[in-house]
Structure 1
Amino acid sequence: MHHQLLNMPLFLLSVLCLYSSHASVPALRFSAFLDPTHQIYLRWDHNAEEAIMTFELQAHSTGWVSFGFTNNKEITGADFVIGGILPDGNVYFSDWHGVSEDTVLEDENQDYELLSLTQDATSTTMAFRRYFRTCDEDDLDITGDTLRLMAGYGTDDTINFFEGRIVHKSLYMMLLSTEDELHSPSIYHVYDLKVDDVSITSLKTKITLDSFSDRFNFEPRITPRNETLVHHILVYACGNASVLPTGVSDCYGADPDFALCSQVVVGWAVGGGSYMFPDETGISIGTPLDAQWVRLEIHYSNFNLIPDLIDNSGIRIYYTPELRPYDMGVLHTGLFTFPIHFIPPGVDSYMSYGICNTSQFEEMNGAPVPDMHMFGYLLHTHLAGKGVRGVLYRNGEQVTVLCEDNKYDFNLQETRNLKETVIFKPGDEFLVECQYQTLDRTDVIFGGPSTLNEMCLIFLFYYPRNNISSCLGYPDIQYVANELGQEASDEMEGMMAINLVDWDNETIKKAEKACKEAEQTVIIKTIDELVRNETSFIREISDTILAPCKDISRAIPAPWLKRQTEYKATPPTTAKALGAKSIFPLPPLLFLSWCFTWLLTSSV
């Protein structure tokens, strides 16, 4: 049967005296808890046409609540709002930014628009919206990168920001759809592809697939308390030339029977969740062309060398006999994971490149390769990675930046969908660029499987499938070593010479330039382990043009906001910086008097 698998204390804010006619908030499709104890819950949605995002934050507190964005969890440069409801029912809400680690300042331009603020006996719910890019230099852009969110709350309305509970979470917010919006099959089955009581030092096993045959949706199944140890999970389809070994073997070990499985079927990495494929496609299993077994590969990071750890993690597969129009494939691209890839120590920003040249795809496939419809991707580097992007070229010209994350977070690696499918044609080139930061390293980082080594990879999801499994590039390391003043007559000597380089600003720049200018060898591999080499060069990348900024204060409010907007008070224009030692709570009676006086004077 042919089936498919689916899928600084701050004590006073300027207060907005509002008439509390709580407007309804539009339906928000996406949601997440922002803390492990589920005390702070965020719902959100975005409108790409209007370039605006709407939020609803619910915190388990009847005091002040806060939400916003940071750079690497730092208060300096943070962009956030604080709001709440006083005991007498008056509402306060204001836009702030961090100027240092113990001081925040109210923005001169208020670019967050309050939609509603409600409170019950235990929780405060605050709904608001903001443009992706405001024209305020104190605001951070909302982008398609991984965003660092900051949220918090206090026990009451005396706002001591730096003594409240503050949490941080990395989140990708430009989601395109929920699983509920996709079409789950009416009939499906579940299969747990996992290891059984494996010692944490055992990294690989192989499991037969002859007992079922369908297409899938998948989700990780991580053994409780091993969440910080399971680094990533890969499921490979094994070529028909392979044989079925028994037991468990080390990743990249000497057993040749484990080596003949290179077609990535499913990829999961730390921070990722479940993923359902689009309605058009699924992974085929059960036909004569499909693998008869797969390899389950699990990488662990046991930095603390905890002994006697046992794991039962793996992937839960959802499969169905209800076939979808196209069988999908995964193309493994980027920089060949080998010590030819190196990153100098002590650098704030260093770029590495790996290119895929598809000119031999049709010959290696054994048949014409139809247009490859790219619909999703998974980015992957290790701890030094700070940004990844993939760029498509045709006839030497850049077609598009297919995917990018300029704020990559190792702890949030997930499969993401493209806004629309992108076509790869035979002869196209695909460049993977990775940005690294190694300020905390004193030795050169080399490419390799360990978490302390590095990788530079993008897994591309596409349909209809072909027989190509990977297309990875690497620079001429002999050329690079020579450019760095080292003698090297072949690749091995070139790799060894990198350890002899005295790293400073000059040699770091030379190394980055040489790796980018060097001829790249492109290794192309098929499902049946046919390997050929091609050559290519790294092309220049045209940066994505940012959309113009927007000022929400000049936006026309929706009709249901009109009354609330009319009653929205403007705080005094005097800038207020509140530092860690500033303590001046405003007595409630004085506050009410101030509000009443402001309303009278503003109406004259």
Structure 2
Amino acid sequence: MPGSDFVVGWVENGQVYFQDRHVKHHQRAYTAPSASVNLGDADTIPSTLEVDSSQDYDLLLGYENVTHTVLRFRRRLNTCDPRDIPITNDTMSALWIMHPEKPTSGSYAGKLTAPKNDGVMRGSQSVYFLQRVNQEAPRVDEAPRVWELRNHEAKIPPPGDSIYWCRVFQMPSIPTKHHLIRYEPLLEDTGKIHLQHAILYECQESVEVVYYANRSGQLCRELGTPPLSCNVIVASWTRGSEGFTFPPEAGYPFESNSPKYYVLETHYSTPNDFDFQNDELTDSSGIRLYYTPELRRHDAGLLSIGIDPNWRHIIPPGQPKVISSGHCISDCTRQAFPDNGINIFAVVTRTHKIGKQIRLRQIRENSELPLVFEDDNLNSEYQEYRRLNTPVRVLPGDHLIAECSYNSSQRSAITLGGLTDREETCIVTSLYYPLQKKLTTCHSLPSLPTVLNSLGIQELQTGSNPLRISAPPELAGMTLETRLLTYDWRHHFPEFQLATQRGSFRPRCWNANYNFLPGTENMEAHFPNITNIFERDRTSAAARTTCPPIADNERSTSEVRERPPTLIDNNQIEITNRNNKVSRSPGEHTLSLSHATRHNLSHTFLILTTLVTTLFWGFL
């Protein structure tokens, strides 16, 4: 991947070779890969791995035996080297390549060709490097009960295809109120390969919900859109996650006074090169929930903030950055939240294929407070609940904004808001305490006048079907659909973006039964007047890095600066990747770090151990 930050290592005749390298940018046009990039495509792996002039990875340990090559190393989160990618709390991609053959003689200080496909093992994993979450099982004294929600022989799609499989469950009968305190994945061998994510939604009881609860599952599209009004995310697991544990002061309430229904949405996909020997390959993976009668201090609640999925959410084509905002207005929080406010302690974000960045902003009396949450390197296939370091208090009257950025540069047609992967969305679901029941969905939707104004339309013909334009004269008679498809986005995108940001929108402040908060049914609102804008500072207050200016002669590759390996005792982050079940011949192994943006961070160290063959490893 052009711009990726790699380390390369191998062992030969007892000598450890270990280097900080980077992938040279191609001259051709390049589309930045997602964090779930298929590393099996040789064309996505540029051929040249150049040695960094500044060697910023420290080798801590290296040796080889008959089954493994072991390399242990560390690196500062921000090295101030323009060839190294700063490690932030955004979603990052760890890439690795293993090859049975070692580099040719003399390649240690020169250019190295990245392995292609013969004999190569490669892969990628999205990860939050700076986030550590308690993954311990519930304590015995909490008398936890277990509820396992599994698919029943969901059919795996053929190579190169994917499906969304849904199954509705009724919660077991409980005599008293309980608290959900943890969930974790239940993975069969098939699920370990094919299951990409699993999301558990709470449903509103209906005849349809009860009907589907008596079935063993079906394709999600068969449930309708949205599926059975099940849109409150209770649990969200994605590939690579070990689950989620609630903080000790809160639990999500399971009530006993009425039946509760939930739908489990699972996304299965099959790699193009998968050897599909069984046409009826199935999977029964799912999620395990832990809930307890030992109630915690607070009931946790769920609040969805963002843009209501609708065609009025328009993303023009061919643009590297399109910003869309969903609002939870002050009138709604003032009416719904308790006097002391609520405390947000975790969030899960949701965009689809072209969503790249998201942040949750908080406005109080025209002043913007520090961001509740942000991620500048989203991956639509890796979105799960993330605990905040410190709960964020939101008071009555605060205005919340879910702001999403999209990259539509590779699309030739507009993208509309909706629930399918071909459409887009912008949602931040927050876990908070204490629970309030007046407001569960706090969305907004661009008003029709805003949409028309952003497209240069002054007026529509009354009663026309399909909708036709009556003014301005040069557009008279044109259908709204034609205007959407033929609009000159290339030259008029700035006007469109300005109109959507400054135009009015319709708040959608609903309770769990989709009833509007009183007085908000016909309300129109505008972007708040922010007089004091919060300036982001991505560095650590405890250990902030100030990088010196980079001289022009330091930007090019020069002689490798060698340093002896050093061992350290105190680690802030330690990640171990061990593979001791498969015997491999000594060879070449690469790991890569990749990211979409570069930010300053602290001098904190990242330490990794690999137990495989020779190493290519890095960030995207």
TM-score, normalised to structure 1, is 0.69
Partners of 1:271 and 1:413 within 8 A in 2: no
Shift of 1:187: 2.2
Match for 1:451: what amino acid? D
The 5-angstrom pairing of residues 500-515 of structure 1 reads 500-515=485-500
Question: 1:6-53: per-residue Cα shift (whole Å, max 9, x none)?
Answer: xxxxxxxxxxxxxxxxxxxxxxxxxxxxxxxxxxxxxxxxxxxxxxxx
Shift of 1:377: 0.8
For residues 269 and 404 of structure 1, what CA distance do their matches in structure 2 show? Answer: 18
For residues 5 and 165 of structure 2, what CA distance do their matches in structure 1 show? Answer: 45
Stretch deviating more after TM superposition (122-131 or 536-545): 536-545
Q: Secondary structure at the match of 2:369?
A: strand
Partners of 2:328 and 2:507 within 8 A in 1: yes
Task: Confirm or deny that 1:322 pairs with 2:294.
Answer: yes
Match for 1:285: what amino acid? F
For residues 166 and 391 of structure 1, what CA distance do their matches in structure 2 show? Answer: 38
Partners of 2:304 and 2:427 within 8 A in 1: yes
Stretch deviating more after TM superposition (543-552 or 436-445): 543-552
The match for 1:175 among 107, 125, 131 is 131
Task: Confirm or deny that 1:459 pairs with 2:426.
Answer: no
Partners of 2:133 and 2:245 within 8 A in 1: no
Shift of 1:382: 0.8
Could you tell me the percent identity over the aligned residues?
24
In structure 2, relative to structure 1, the CA distance for the partners of 1:236 and 1:124 (3 Å cut) is: same
Q: Secondary structure at the match of 2:331?
A: coil
Task: Confirm or deny that 1:340 pairs with 2:340.
Answer: no
Shift of 1:311: 6.9
Shift of 1:102: 2.3
Q: Could you tell me which residue of structure 2 aligns to residue 58 of structure 1? A: none
Q: Could you tell me which residue of structure 2 aligns to residue 292 of structure 1? A: 259
Match for 2:22: what amino acid? H
For residues 255 and 453 of structure 1, what CA distance do their matches in structure 2 show? Answer: 13
The match for 2:89 among 128, 138, 144 is 144
Partners of 2:49 and 2:113 within 8 A in 1: no
Q: Could you tell me which residue of structure 2 aligns to residue 119 of structure 1? A: 64
Q: Could you tell me which residue of structure 1 aligns to residue 537 of structure 2? A: 545
Q: Secondary structure at the match of 1:388?
A: strand
Partners of 2:309 and 2:417 within 8 A in 1: yes
In structure 2, relative to structure 1, the CA distance for the partners of 1:438 and 1:189 (3 Å cut) is: same
Stretch deviating more after TM superposition (94-103 or 208-217): 208-217
For residues 238 and 150 of structure 2, what CA distance do their matches in structure 1 show? Answer: 15
Match for 1:479: what amino acid? T
For residues 226 and 413 of structure 2, what CA distance do their matches in structure 1 show? Answer: 32
In structure 2, relative to structure 1, the CA distance for the partners of 1:345 and 1:81 (3 Å cut) is: same
Match for 1:319: what amino acid? Y
Q: Could you tell me which residue of structure 2 aligns to residue 266 of structure 1? A: 235
Shift of 1:471: 0.4
Stretch deviating more after TM superposition (130-139 or 214-223): 214-223
Question: 1:312-336: per-residue Cα shift (whole Å, max 9, x none)?
Answer: 5543211122222211011111111
Q: Could you tell me which residue of structure 2 aligns to residue 190 of structure 1? A: 146
Q: Secondary structure at the match of 1:401?
A: coil
For residues 298 and 534 of structure 2, what CA distance do their matches in structure 1 show? Answer: 33
Q: Could you tell me which residue of structure 2 aligns to residue 162 of structure 1? A: 114
Stretch deviating more after TM superposition (144-153 or 331-340): 144-153
For residues 162 and 187 of structure 1, what CA distance do their matches in structure 2 show? Answer: 53
Question: 1:242-271: per-residue Cα shift (whole Å, max 9, x none)?
Answer: 997323697796899944x65443344566
Unaligned runs of 5+ in 1: 1-73, 562-604
Shift of 1:155: 3.0
For residues 246 and 313 of structure 1, what CA distance do their matches in structure 2 show? Answer: 22
For residues 225 and 121 of structure 2, what CA distance do their matches in structure 1 show? Answer: 52
Aligned residue pair count:
477
Partners of 1:364 and 1:526 within 8 A in 2: no
For residues 316 and 4 of structure 2, what CA distance do their matches in structure 1 show? Answer: 30
The match for 1:523 among 497, 508, 515 is 508
Q: Secondary structure at the match of 1:152?
A: strand
Q: Secondary structure at the match of 1:127?
A: strand
Partners of 2:11 and 2:64 within 8 A in 1: yes
Question: 1:416-475: per-residue Cα shift (whole Å, max 9, x none)?
Answer: 111111111111111111111223322211111111111111111111111121101122
For residues 194 and 443 of structure 1, what CA distance do their matches in structure 2 show? Answer: 39
For residues 430 and 137 of structure 1, what CA distance do their matches in structure 2 show? Answer: 35
Task: Confirm or deny that 1:207 pairs with 2:165.
Answer: no
For residues 95 and 285 of structure 2, what CA distance do their matches in structure 1 show? Answer: 31
In structure 2, relative to structure 1, the CA distance for the partners of 1:152 and 1:499 (3 Å cut) is: same
Say which structure, 1 or 2, has more relative contact order (CA 8 Å, 6+ apart).
Answer: 2
The 5-angstrom pairing of residues 268-417 of structure 1 reads 268=237, 272-288=241-257, 292-298=259-265, 312=284, 314-361=286-333, 363-364=335-336, 368=338, 370-417=340-387
For residues 141 and 258 of structure 1, what CA distance do their matches in structure 2 show? Answer: 43
Match for 1:537: what amino acid? H
Stretch deviating more after TM superposition (311-320 or 241-250): 241-250
Unaligned runs of 5+ in 2: 26-45, 105-111, 156-162, 470-479, 549-560, 570-620
Match for 1:449: what amino acid? L
The match for 1:236 among 187, 196, 202 is 202
For residues 466 and 242 of structure 1, what CA distance do their matches in structure 2 show? Answer: 27
In structure 2, relative to structure 1, the CA distance for the partners of 1:175 and 1:371 (3 Å cut) is: same
For residues 393 and 429 of structure 1, what CA distance do their matches in structure 2 show? Answer: 5
For residues 526 and 176 of structure 1, what CA distance do their matches in structure 2 show? Answer: 33
For residues 184 and 196 of structure 1, what CA distance do their matches in structure 2 show? Answer: 30
For residues 547 and 485 of structure 2, what CA distance do their matches in structure 1 show? Answer: 54
Shift of 1:202: 7.3
Partners of 1:230 and 1:298 within 8 A in 2: no
In structure 2, relative to structure 1, the CA distance for the partners of 1:360 and 1:186 (3 Å cut) is: closer
Q: Could you tell me which residue of structure 2 aligns to residue 133 of structure 1? A: 78
Q: Could you tell me which residue of structure 1 aligns to residue 584 of structure 2? A: none
Stretch deviating more after TM superposition (468-477 or 162-171): 162-171
TM-score, normalised to structure 2, is 0.67
Shift of 1:507: 2.4
The match for 1:246 among 211, 236, 251 is 211
CA RMSD of aligned residues (A): 3.9
The 5-angstrom pairing of residues 64-143 of structure 1 reads 74=1, 76-87=2-13, 89-100=14-25, 101-143=46-88
Q: Secondary structure at the match of 2:390?
A: strand
In structure 2, relative to structure 1, the CA distance for the partners of 1:222 and 1:452 (3 Å cut) is: farther
For residues 544 and 181 of structure 1, what CA distance do their matches in structure 2 show? Answer: 36
